[in-house]
Structure 1
Amino acid sequence: MNNKSHQNIRAVCAQAIFNVLEEGQSLSATLTALSYQIANKDKALVQEICFGVMRVLPELNFYIHSLMSKVLTGKNRILHYLLLVGIYQILYTRIPEHAAVGETVNAVNTLKKTQLKGLINGVLREFLRQQASLQQTFTQDSKQQNQQTLHPSWLLTRLKQAYPQQWQTIVNANNQKPPMWLRVNLNQYSVSEYQQLLVEQQIESDSFPELPSALRLLSPVGVNKLPYFDEGAVTVQDLSAQYAAYLLAPQNGEHILDMCAAPGGKTTHILEVAPKAQVLAVDIDPSRVKRIGENLARLKQQAEVKVGDGLTPENWCKGRSFDRILLDAPCSATGVIRRHPDIKWLRRDSDIAQLTELQHAILTNIWSYLKTGGTLVYATCSILPDENKLQIERFLQENTSAKLQGELKQFLPTENGGDGFFYAILKKHS
C-alpha cells in the first residue's frame, strides 16, 4: 500500500473515515497520517470525499441502512465506510456513476475483503436504482427530522435552547462548505492593493469594511496560487478569528502572552499590528508548536515560542507578568463545524462540562500573570453559552479584580461570513 500511483484512494478515504468514527481520531490528523499513501494529484479529491462524508453522514447512513438488512460489523466494518464513500461520490461529486461504483468496488481488493466485492457492488447498484425514492423518503419522512439537520441530537438540543430563533440558520451554515478568508499583511499591502494582485491572477474577492485586513475569496484556491504568500503578504484566517488581535489592541514594547497559540495565526496577527511587541506564544501540543515557528518564519517575525500547559503556568512562566494576554481557550469547536465537520461526531454532550472546567482552571491560573491595569481577551471558537457567556459571568463573580470591558461578542457562523466565535475583554484592576 506504499506505492502512491497504485493506491486506491477510495480505500484510503474509507480508512480515514473509519479512523475518525471508530477510533476517535480527528479527520485532519488521520489525513496527515495517511498522506504518504495519496499522490499529490489526488489530495483534493480525498479531502472532498472525507470532509463531505462527515458533513452529510446521517443521510448516507440512512441510505445504507435502508438497503441492507444486516449491518457490517467487526473486521468487515470498514466496508460500511467504503459504502459511505461510494454513495457520497454518486450524490455529491461530478465523478461519473460507473467510475464511482467501479473504483469503490475495486477498493475492496485493497482492503483485502475480496469475498465481499459482490455485496458492495450490489448495494451501490441498488442505490442507483432506488436513488430518487430513497432521497424523497429521507427529506420528507417526519421520523428523519433530526437526521435531516445532519447534526447529532444532543447538539441540536443545545442549539435550540441557546438560539430558539437562530438555530436553523446556524445548522444551515454548518452544513455548507466554508468560505476562504484572507488576512492581508497591512505592513506590506493595503487590502485594495492586494485585491489588485488577486485580480491579475483571475482570483475574485470581497473586502469587509469592518476589518481593515479581511478579504473573502469568491472561490477557494490553494495557497500556492496566492500572490506573495511565501513572502508573508497574506495569511489564511477566518473573518471571526481576525477580531482577536484588534480586540487585544497590542502596543509596541508591551509584553504579551498568546496562550493556546498554535498554529500561530493570532500570534502573527498580533505582531503585524504591533511589530515591536515582546510576544510569548505557548501551546501544549509540541507538533502544533512547530507550526507557530513555521508561520513566524514565513512572516519574518520574532517571538518566543514555548511548549506549556495553561494549568501549570508556573512551570514555564515563573516570575513574569504581561501587559496583555490572549487566551484562545480549548473548547468544543462548535463554531467551526463547517471547517471540521467531524466535530459533530467526535464530540459528546458530556464533553461540554469537562471543557468548561478546563477553561475555568486555565483562565484562573493565567489571570495571576496579568499586570494590574492589563487586558486579557478570552476567546473560543464555540457557540455554546456554557463555554462563553456563562463562563465569563462565573469568572467575574469569583474575581473582584476582573472587570468586563465593553460587551461580550458572540459571533454565529453565517454562510458567506465568519465562523462561530466568542470574545470577552477583561481588565485587571487592583
Structure 2
Amino acid sequence: MKQNDTIHAHTMQGQSAPLWRLLQSTAAAVQATRQGRSLTAQLESVPAELRPGVQALSFQVLRHLGRATALRQCLASKTPPPAVDALLCSALALCWRDADAVYPIHTLVNQAVEAARQQRSTQAQSGFVNACLRRFMREREALVQRTDTDVQAQWNHPRWWVERLQADHPLHWQTLLTLAQTPAPMTLRVNTQHQGVADYKKKLDALGVPSQAVGDHGLQLGKALPVQHLPGFSEGHVSVQDAAAQLAAPLLMQGLDKQAEWRILDACAAPGGKTGHLLELCPKASVVALDVDASRCERIHQNLRRLGVQGQVMAADAGQPADWWNGQAFDAILLDAPCTASGIVRRHPDVRWLRRPTDSGQLAKTQAMLLKALWPLLKPGGRLLYCTCSVFKAEGDETVQAFLQRNTDAHLRPSPGHLIPGQPPAGLPVDHNPLGEHDGFYYALLEKRQG
C-alpha cells in the first residue's frame, strides 16, 4: 500500500476513498480494541468499500500501538478523550518510522488533521491534533529515542505479555515478539482425497504462485491469493489452514487404520477446519463436531459442504455432556480448547491489546473443566488430543501436567508440546516435513489406559 503523494486508497470496486476517511475508521477500530471489542467484529461495521484499506491500516497501527502510545504520552502527558487519543495514536503508529510508513509522513499528518476536523467527536480538538503531530514531525528522532527504553514501545506488546514470554520461553521470547510484528504467510491444506500435494503444487506453479511443501498435506505460498483464485477451492480440493493447525488430525490418528469406522468427537470445532481434515484422513469415520455457538456451527456446515464430507454438527456445550451425549463412547477426541490466542497474534494483532494478565489463568480453569468433562466419554485405549493456539505455558504444559496428576488412567504419548514459531518442532514423526513458518500452538496426546 506504499503511495507517493496521493491521499486516496483504492477499494475493491475500483473506486477511491480519501485517506482521512480511512484514518477515521482506523482510529475507531483502535478505540474499539481499547474498549474490548475485537478487530474482526469492528471491521464488520466498516462500509464494504472502505474495509480493505481500513483493515490494512488497522493491522499496521495495532502492530505499532505500543510505540505510538508512548510517543503520545511524550507529546501530551494528559490523556486526551478516547476518540482523539485513538486518532493521534493511529497517525503516530503509521509515521513513527520511515521504513514502515505506508504513505509519505507529511500526507499522513495532513490527513489525520483533516480526519479530526471532519468528525464531530474530534472536531473541537483538531487544533490539538495538528499541534501534536507538527511537533512530532519537528522532533521525531528525539521523541523516538526517548521512548526506546519503554518495554511496551520497544516490543509493541503489553509489559505483562513480554514478562510472561520471558518467563515461559527464556530462549525464544525475543523471536516470538519479533515475529508478531510480521504478516503471517498463507498456508494451504491439500485434500489428498482429490490429488497429491505435489500435483497441486504444479497447478500453483502454472499460475506463477511459488509454494513450498510443509507438514504432510500443506503448501505455504510465497504470496497470498484470494481463495476464489485457488484452483479447485470451491470444489473442496484445498483449504486455508496454518501449518501448525494442520498437525491436529494427523497427530490424533497417528498409527491408526485410517479406513476404520472410528467414532470421533471434535469438541469446540468451529469453524470446522480440523473437522474437515479428520474426515479427509478418515473417510469412514463418524465425526461429531460440537460448538457452543449456533451461528459458528453454520460455518462448520459450510466448510463440510465445500469439502464434500459429512459429519454430525451440534450446537452444544462440550463441558456439559449430559445435555447432548448419547452414551456411546468415542475412540478419539480432539479438544481445541478456548485460549488467549497468544500464538496467532501475527494474524490477529488486536489480541495483544484485548487480553488482560488474568485471562490466561481464567482460561486454564475452563480448559481443565473441559478435559474433566470429556475424559469419561473416551473408550479405554482411546486417545484425546488437547491443543490450544497459545504459547503461554499456563494453557499448555501446566494444564496437561495438572490433568495427569489427577487422572492416573491417563498416559501422555509422544507429543510436540509447545510449537514455537521459528523453531523446529519436537515430538513429530521422523519423516514429517518441516512446518515452515507457522503459528504458535500446543499439542498433548493423551491415551486412556486399558482397565
Q: TM-score, normalised by structure 1?
A: 0.91
Q: Secondary structure at the match of 2:342?
A: coil
Cα 1:386–1:94 change in 2 (3 A) is closer
Q: Secondary structure at the match of 1:406?
A: coil
Distance (Å, rounded) in 1 between the aligned partners of 2:159 and 2:92: 23
- 1:399 maps to 407
1:175 to 164, 175, 181: 181
Deviations 1:196-247 (A, max 9, x none): 2112222111212xx2211111222322232222221211111111100000
Deviations 1:384-404 (A, max 9, x none): 222211211111111122111
2:57 to 44, 49, 61: 49
Q: Does 1:388 align with 2:384?
A: no
The answer to whether the 8 A contact 2:61-2:94 is kept is: no
Deviation of 1:380 (Å):
0.7
- 1:232 maps to 236
* Residue type at the aligned position of 2:138: R
Cα 1:217–1:6 change in 2 (3 A) is closer
2:40 to 28, 38, 41: 28
Q: Secondary structure at the match of 1:157?
A: helix
Distance (Å, rounded) in 2 between the aligned partners of 1:312 and 1:20: 32
2:138 to 129, 137, 144: 129
Q: Secondary structure at the match of 1:136?
A: helix
Deviation of 1:79 (Å):
1.6
* Residue type at the aligned position of 2:234: D
- 2:448 maps to 428
- 1:88 maps to 93
Percent of aligned positions with the same letter in both sequences?
Answer: 38
The answer to whether the 8 A contact 1:389-1:408 is kept is: no
Distance (Å, rounded) in 2 between the aligned partners of 1:59 and 1:196: 43
* Residue type at the aligned position of 1:424: A
- 1:119 maps to 128
Unaligned runs of at least 5 residues, structure 2 = 1-14, 424-435
Distance (Å, rounded) in 2 between the aligned partners of 1:160 and 1:259: 31
- 1:185 maps to 191
- 1:223 maps to 227
Deviations 1:354-406 (A, max 9, x none): 11111111111011111122111011111122221121111111112211112
- 2:270 maps to 262
Deviation of 1:145 (Å):
3.6
Q: Does 1:66 align with 2:74?
A: yes
1:345 to 353, 375, 382: 353
Distance (Å, rounded) in 2 between the aligned partners of 1:197 and 1:60: 43
Deviation of 1:263 (Å):
0.9
Distance (Å, rounded) in 1 between the aligned partners of 2:441 and 2:282: 23
Deviation of 1:130 (Å):
2.2
Q: Does 1:11 align with 2:19?
A: no
Name whichever structure is richer in helix by fraction.
1
| Structure 1, 183-192 or 130-139: larger mean CA deviation | 130-139
Distance (Å, rounded) in 2 between the aligned partners of 1:380 and 1:425: 12
Deviation of 1:260 (Å):
0.6
Distance (Å, rounded) in 2 between the aligned partners of 1:345 and 1:215: 31
Distance (Å, rounded) in 2 between the aligned partners of 1:98 and 1:201: 39
Over aligned residue pairs, what C-alpha RMSD do you find? 2.0
Q: TM-score, normalised by structure 2?
A: 0.87
The answer to whether the 8 A contact 2:67-2:152 is kept is: no
Distance (Å, rounded) in 1 between the aligned partners of 2:162 and 2:151: 11
The answer to whether the 8 A contact 2:65-2:90 is kept is: no
- 2:246 maps to 242
Cα 1:151–1:114 change in 2 (3 A) is closer
Paired residues, number? 414
Deviations 1:41-89 (A, max 9, x none): x43321121122221111011222222243212xxx1121112222233
2:370 to 359, 362, 365: 362
* Residue type at the aligned position of 2:33: V
Q: Does 1:290 align with 2:298?
A: yes
The answer to whether the 8 A contact 2:410-2:447 is kept is: yes
Structure 1 moving runs of 4+ over 6 Å: 4-7
The answer to whether the 8 A contact 1:280-1:303 is kept is: yes
Unaligned runs of at least 5 residues, structure 1 = none
Distance (Å, rounded) in 1 between the aligned partners of 2:203 and 2:136: 47
1:199 to 194, 202, 205: 205
Deviation of 1:325 (Å):
0.5
Cα 1:132–1:189 change in 2 (3 A) is farther
Deviation of 1:6 (Å):
6.9
Deviation of 1:98 (Å):
4.1
